[in-house]
Amino acid sequence: MNFQWDNVEQFAQYVAQGERSFSDKINFLLDLKAHTYTCDSRISPLDYFEWVSRLSAVCPSTALSFSMHLYTQWGMQHIVPDELRDTILHTDSDDAKLFGSLNEPGIYFLREEQLNPEHFLIRAIQTDDGYVVNGVKKFVSLEPFVHFLPVYCYVENPRDQEARIAVLLLRKGAAGIHIQADWDTISMSESYSNSVCFDNVHVPHTDVLLKDKDALQQTNVFAYLFRLSISSVYYGIAQHAYQLALDYCKSKQVPHTNRTLSFFPGVQFSVAEIAMLLEGSRSQIIRYCELLHSYLEGKPSVDHIPIISLMTKEIVVNHAEQAVNLAMKIVGISSIAKHHVLSKLYQDVKAGQFHPPQSDVTYEMIAKHELGVLTHRSRWL
């Protein structure tokens, strides 16, 4: 399907017309109703990958932050109670209430008894009319535009048949919520991933998403969609770097020759290497998209989606960084100038290694699965 392909082209033209602020870019996408993309039941994981990667090739920070809303909105359709669905999953562009990501950097545990309460950033106490929440939700991408904040909470006083971990929906306009504008990084600087602080915030029963014993397992869909989002964003970065390198090779006249850089073997080898990195990443993403599509439709699969999702994210992020490095090698010293596009892509692509889970955990999980190493408890998602 070609849903909203034109919107990416319009966005690219808008950005190319002159310097745009982060707010300008997001408001432009909202005017195009891009925030409703994952409300469309027709989209597939492959459609989503194509859309987000194209957006990332225009502006990685915008694509990363906007995809956090899109994938969370998509995942919400799988867990939100029917009575809450119509009030938060809507497509009215005049009332664009965006989602912060549910993802928490410290949560990959499958069993709640493994969680240390002292290390949990958000705590909740159950009351007769809901919950009272305290703590901090860090790295909320697109924070200035976010309204809905789904959070994992460690519940101090769960009732019978209820879990220690609940998933609650907080609304940023609620009393007791304030912003800590602490996003200060050279990578993905425009994603505005600030911290949101909760001080005795009341959450009514109507905004409780999950509180049963299997709450953590029911949120697995968010992990899989998050990894697709990350893969899509960093593939887009690699594509952009590659196109810049190609354009440079075709236009750069080599001194004392009558030929452009394209005719020289050293550059050709680097171009070939980037092309193979991109093809490898794309093939892996397509494989994952097919598997994820079956998962979202509830179809059984012989493949192990947690492992494939991790492999995909790790492969694509690593390939993207290699592609940017090779593109800079082709362009040469001018690529490290402060305002060069490749210099900015180099900074942005560095954030890839910090999206959870990081490489050491990922490799442990993959290796244990391949080796058939069984521990006395399930450690990671």
Query: What pLDDT digit, counting tens, does each position of 247-258 carry?
Result: 999 999 898 898
Tally of structural domains, the chain: 3
Residues 232 and 357 in one domain: yes
Residues 226 and 314 in one domain: yes
- Give the confidence band of 79 by pLDDT, cuts at 50, 70, 90: confident
- Beta bridge partners, 148, equal 99, 171
Model confidence at 86: pLDDT above 80: no
Cα distance between residue 170 and residue 299, in whole Å: 32
Q: Is residue 381 part of a domain?
A: no
Which of 68, 96, 124 corresponds to the end of one domain?
Answer: 96
- Give the confidence band of 111 by pLDDT, cuts at 50, 70, 90: low
Query: What pLDDT digit, counting tens, does each position of 250-291 carry?
Result: 999 898 898 999 999 999 999 999 999 999 999 999 999 999
3-state secondary structure of 162: strand
Lowest mean pLDDT among 33-37, 93-97, 346-350: 93-97
Q: Is residue 377 part of a domain?
A: no
Cα distance between residue 210 and residue 169, in whole Å: 10
Give, in order, the Cα–Cα distances in Å from 364 to each of 352, 361, 380.
18, 5, 10
> Which CATH number covers residue 157?
2.40.110.10
Residues 230 and 263 in one domain: yes
Residues 86 and 131 in one domain: no
Model confidence at 379: pLDDT above 60: no
- Which domain does 156 fall in, by range? 99-216
Model confidence at 57: pLDDT above 90: yes
3-state secondary structure of 1: coil
Mean pLDDT, residues 108-126: 76
Q: Is residue 173 part of a domain?
A: yes
- Beta bridge partners, 82, equal none
Which of 155, 182, 216 corresponds to the end of one domain?
Answer: 216
Question: How is residue 229 written in tokens?
Answer: 């989002």
Residues 327 and 241 in one domain: yes
Cα distance between residue 253 and residue 353, in whole Å: 36
Residues 359 and 240 in one domain: yes
Taking the model in full, what pTM does it have? 0.93
Residues near 234 by beta carbon (within 8 Å), at least 6 away in sequence: 56, 316, 317, 320, 349, 352
Residues 185 and 121 in one domain: yes
Residues 264 and 355 in one domain: yes
pLDDT score, position 167: 92
Residues 45 and 74 in one domain: yes
- Among 322, 332, 379, 329, which residue's Cα sits nearest to residue 352? 322
Cα distance between residue 376 and residue 161, in whole Å: 24
Residues 77 and 182 in one domain: no
pLDDT score, position 93: 47
Contact between residue 245 and residue 331 where contact means Cβ atoms under 8 Å apart: yes
Query: What pLDDT digit, counting tens, does each position of 178-236 carry?
Result: 999 998 888 888 888 899 999 999 999 999 998 887 777 788 899 999 999 999 999 99
Mean pLDDT value across the chain: 89
Model confidence at 376: pLDDT above 60: no
Q: Is residue 379 part of a domain?
A: no
- Among 32, 61, 150, which residue's Cα sits nearest to residue 99? 150
- Give the confidence band of 104 by pLDDT, cuts at 50, 70, 90: low
- Among 256, 259, 265, 233, which residue's Cα sits nearest to residue 330? 265
pLDDT score, position 296: 93
3-state secondary structure of 175: coil
Model confidence at 15: pLDDT above 50: yes
Q: At what angle do helices 60-76 and 220-251 cross, to 10 degrees?
A: 150
pLDDT score, position 259: 92
Residues 236 and 366 in one domain: yes
What percent of the chain stands above pLDDT 90? 64
Which of 96, 131, 149 corresponds to the end of one domain?
Answer: 96
> Which CATH number covers residue 341?
1.20.140.10
Mean pLDDT, residues 229-244: 98
- Give the confidence band of 1 by pLDDT, cuts at 50, 70, 90: very low
Mean pLDDT, residues 331-351: 94
Residues 226 and 324 in one domain: yes
pLDDT score, position 88: 82
